[in-house]
Amino acid sequence: MKHYLLLVLSDVEPDIAGPYATEEKRDSVARKFREDYGDVTGIYKLDIDDEGHVYSEAYSGRFFDDDEYLADLEKKLDSFMSIKTKELK
């Protein structure tokens, strides 16, 4: 499987970046691209298997959230679930 990024510049002009050796490397480049250029450009996963089949998938908005924000969100969710669990007992 070959891993690429499909970039849609200003949501008008398509471009392809890659290939990347791993999904992790591709995803790292996607985060860096979003950090450097903001959300002006659509960023999508693009994979091509050994038979030439093409697969494209959108990144979730959460994928681009920073780790600190996600950690805080996870704590809030855990707290909420703890309260709801106590209410059900």
The residue to which tokens 């855990």 are assigned: 78
User: Are both 83 and 49 inside the same structural domain?
Assistant: no
Whether this prediction's pTM lies above 0.95 is answered by no
All residues at 6 or more sequence positions from 14 whose CB lies less than 8 Å from its CB, including other chains: 6, 7, 8
**Strand pairing category for 2-9 and 13-20:** antiparallel
Q: Are 10 and 41 in contact (CB under 8 A)?
A: yes
Q: Domain limits at 12?
A: 2-58
Same domain? 22 vs 47: yes
| pLDDT per residue as tens, the chain (89 positions) | 999 999 998 879 999 999 999 999 999 999 999 988 888 889 999 999 999 999 999 998 778 876 665 666 677 777 777 775 666 65
Q: Note whether 52 and 71 are same-domain residues.
A: no
Query: In the structure encoding, which two tokens stand for residue 38, read together?
Result: 């903001």
The type of residue at 60 is: S
In this structure, are 74 and 31 located in the same domain? no
